[in-house]
Each structure stands twice: as C-alpha cells, then as structure tokens.
Amino acid sequence: MAELAYRYVIVGGGLAGASAVEGIREKDADGSILLVGSEHHLPYDRPPLTKKLWFGKKKVEDIFLHDREYYASHGADLALGTRVIQVDARRRTVADNQGNTYRYDKLLLATGGIPRSLEIPGGDLAGICHYRYLDDYLKTRAEAAPGKSALVIGGGFIGSEIAAALTINQLEVTMVYPEPYLVERVFPEHLGRALQDLYRARGITIEAGDAPASFEKSGDRFVTHTRNGKRIESDILLVGVGILPAVHLAQSAGLAMENGIAVNELLQTSDPGIYAAGDNAFFPYQALGQRTRIEHWDNALNQGKHAGRNMAGLREPFTYMPYFFSDLFEFGYEAVGDVNSKLETFADWRKENDTGVIYYLSDGKVRGAMMCNVWEKVEDARELIQQGRRMTPEDLRGAIR
C-alpha cells in the first residue's frame, strides 16, 4: 500500500483536528497536511446532537464545520472513515487500517474520547446507543417517534440534554442514574434538585440513586433491570455515562500519560514532535494553576487551533480559559473555570434556581462561575477568576449582571 510524507499529520476528525488545520495555515501557508478521521462524515459540531438538531433550529447539513472545498483550498488531504492503528514515534510514521503509512514532521493526536460502556450483563446488546456521534443522532432520530418510550442511562451533561430533547419531541422518557440529583458533578445541590423537579414536572420519570444491573431484549423492546429492583421496558435505550480519553495510540507510542495524554504549555507531548489537543489532552490550565483535562466544545476549538499554530512554529503557551454551555428545557447556562460542586458555592439569584450567577470558590477566591439564563457574561467571569482575589458574598452580589 501507499507510503506518503506530510509536514503535518492530524489524527482525529473532530473539532480539535479541524481547528488545527486553520491554526496551521495561520502560520504556514504551504506545508502539506493530512487529516485522518475514523468517522465517514466531514468534521462537525457535536453540541447540536443533543440540542439544536432536536429543536428544529439546525439541520444536519448545518453542523459540518466546513465543506470539502474548504479543506482542498487549505491544502489539507482528508482520509475519512480511516483508523490510525499505530504511531511509530521513532520513525515518525503513522499506519492506518487500510495498510497505508504516512511520514510526518509534526503530529497532532486529536483523538477525543470514547463513550464509556457498562460492564453488566447485556451491556453489549445490539441496538444500545452510547450516544456521542452523528450516526447516533441519525439512528435515534429515526426511531424517536412521538409516543415511543426511551430510557436514558446517566444524569450528567449528555443524559440531561438528550432526555430534555426527547421529551420535547413527545417521547416518554425515563432516566436512571446513581447520583442523588441531576448533573451532581457541577450543580450545587439546591439547583440540581430544583432542575430534577422541573424534569419530573415535564413528565420525565427519574430513578435517581439507582443504576442498571442488566439489559435484555423482549421482542423489539429493551428490558432494563436496576440495582434497586426496578424493571423498565423501553423502545430506545441510550447510555450517556461519560467518556474515556482515547489514548491507546499515545500509550503504544510510549508517550507520557496522566489523566489523558500529558502535554506541556505548548501542547507538546513528551515527544516534542507530537502534540495533543481536545478531550484527550491533560494540560496546564494556566488561569487556575493546575493540570486538567476538559471535554467541552470550546476547549477543543481553541486548543486544536493553538496546537496547529505551535506545530507550525508559533511556540506560545496555551492560556485560554474555555467555557461550556447547556440547554435544559427553559434553563440554559454558560460556565467557565472550575465549576466543581465540591467547591464552596455562592448563588447570586435574581430568580431562585432560574436566573442568576453561581460562583465556585476556594479559599475565598473565585475559581469558576456559572451564568444561569444570564448571557454574554463569560468574559466578565474570566476576569473575575483571573483577578485571584478573596471575595465575600457581599463582594460577589451583583459582581456579574
């Protein structure tokens, strides 16, 4: 099979990989680029898969980041529907599942994450959807007729968003998750329980503090048995219990690992010719003074572009503070920084559990902020976090409006 040489090889056809093409071209107009993606689709935006596609605000053709002409005009070859199966850091080559080998000067691993599966009896049944990809949306959309029943496993970001989307599309939805309330990792308890009540008021059956013990099929329907003894039948079974960083290529190449692929402030791995960006990169979060891994859209967008620039010679630290957002029925929010519910929180509500700002603090310093139905204030929140000064509740009241 073919052996080709490129100045830049990007492994990963998601947002980080596509953004890296743009970043490279900002610094290097001519260097040859190859983007390898395991999905057959062109790179696309993932948030609409649980949001706007379900609400009629976008069509599938609207979510693609660029058309083929864009990549051609940027001198980027595409190898879609192709898996890289080996990275040889010593020889600076990658090999794909079709027998091709590609030499690189600089390599970006933008392989994202892999949906977590449930290691329980029936966890590998055909038809269970581990919801993450465009094909998952297309499959679920085709099945999601009004009046059908859907069971959503997971009460985090994916679970809460897809449950709301299916309910709005007139399906009968049940949620099962082990936490005591929705999105426990991020929401303070008072907010998480209020939203859980909202979900129930919208007709969603919630089995909190429970988890699936086994799955089976009964005809065309799924039967889920839970640890608490519940038996739940459903036409559709969606699992959204988080992702694992896709690090197998990095591991086999001998790169340093932490909670993901370890990178420095330039987004370089332990091999200076290999970079990582997006869901799989464990990086120095400069504004918070800690190393972390972030699984959100804005991080993939900006980290991918920055990695591309640095691959092309920029050599500037990644200092951006990514934000994320969600829409849960009438409740929407934007958040930035460390929004961990284990931190101390202070809520500055205009309307309780609906409109206002939640501040996440450590030692009196703002580490994160969630703007609930308050929009276009992310930059204000970033400035507050970066100030790094101790603040009292009185200081915080009205700090972001």
pLDDT in tens, the chain (401 residues): 678 999 999 999 999 999 999 999 999 999 999 999 999 999 999 999 999 999 999 999 999 999 999 999 999 999 999 999 999 999 999 999 999 999 999 999 999 999 999 999 999 999 999 999 999 999 999 999 999 999 999 999 999 999 999 999 999 999 999 999 999 999 999 999 999 999 999 999 999 999 999 999 999 999 999 999 999 999 999 999 999 999 999 999 999 999 999 999 999 999 999 999 999 999 999 999 999 999 999 999 999 999 999 999 999 999 999 999 999 999 999 999 999 999 999 999 999 999 999 999 999 999 999 999 999 999 999 999 999 999 999 999 999 98
What is the SS3 assignment for 157?
Answer: helix
105 in a structural domain: yes
φ, ψ of residue 381 in degrees (nearest 5): -65, -40
The sign of the dihedral angle between the CA atoms of 8, 20, 339, 367 is positive
- CATH code, domain with 338: 3.30.390.30
Let me know whether 110 and 248 are in one domain.
yes
The dihedral of CA 280, 286, 289, 295: what is its sign? Answer: negative
**Cα–Cα distance for residue pair 259/250, rounded to 1 Å:** 12
Task: Pick the closest to residue 191 from 346, 69, 52, 43 (CA basis).
Answer: 346
Whole-Å CA distances, 268 to 246, 248, 314:
17, 17, 12
What total number of domains does the chain contain? Answer: 3
Q: Is residue 322 domain-resident?
A: no
Q: Which of 206, 239, 272 delimits the end of a domain?
A: 239
Are residue 254 and residue 235 in the same domain, yes or no? Answer: no
Q: Which amino acid makes up residue 300?
A: A
- The helix (run of H) or strand (run of E) holding residue 386 is helix 378-387
The whole-number pLDDT of residue 2 equals: 73
**Same domain, yes or no: 159 and 306:** no
Q: Is residue 119 part of a domain?
A: no
In a domain, 147, yes or no: yes
Q: Is residue 122 part of a domain?
A: no
Same domain flag for 55 and 82? yes
Same domain, 28 and 55: yes
Q: What is the rounded distance in angstroms from the CA atom of residue 214 to the CA atom of residue 224?
A: 6
Report which of 163, 176, 134 is spatially closest to residue 45, judged by C-alpha positions. Answer: 134
Nearest to 35 by CA among 91, 98, 94: 94
- In-domain check, residue 316: no
Is residue 326 within 8 Å of residue 161, measured between CB atoms?
yes
DSSP 8-state class, residue 330: T
In a domain, 121, yes or no: no
> In this predicted structure, what is the pLDDT of residue 1?
66
Pair 146, 201 in one domain: yes
Torsion of CA 311, 315, 319, 322, to 10 degrees: -10
133, 235: one domain: yes
Burial of 280 (0-12, 13-18, 19+ CB in 10 A): buried
Q: Is the dihedral of CA 217, 180, 155, 193 positive or negative?
A: positive
SS3 of 276, please? strand
Same domain, 108 and 256: yes
Domain termination site, one of 175, 209, 239: 239
Instruction: With beta carbons less than 8 A apart as the criterion, state whether 280 and 246 touch.
Output: yes
In contact, 243 and 295? CB cutoff 8 Å: yes
How many other C-beta atoms are found inside a 10 Å radius of the C-beta of residue 214?
15
Distance CA 127, CA 139 (A): 9
C-beta of residue 157 within 8 angstroms of C-beta of residue 116: no
List of residues 6+ apart from 347 with CB closer than 8 A:
188, 190, 191, 356, 357, 358, 359
Residues 18 and 80 in one domain: yes
pLDDT at 143: 97
> Which residue range(s) make up the domain with 355?
330-396
Q: Where are the alpha helices (DSSP H) in 74-169?
A: 134-143, 157-168
CATH number at residue 38: 3.50.50.60
Segments in 119-240 forming alpha helices (H):
134-143, 157-168, 189-201
Residue 308: closest CA among 5, 6, 9, 4: 9
Residue 123 lies in a domain: no
Spatial distance between the Cα atoms of 273 and 296, rounded to a whole number of angstroms: 25
Question: Looking at the structure, do residues 235 and 263 belong to the same domain, yes or no?
Answer: no
Res 3: pLDDT: 84
102, 157: one domain: no
From 217, 239, 261, the end of a domain falls on: 239
- 61 & 7 share domain: yes
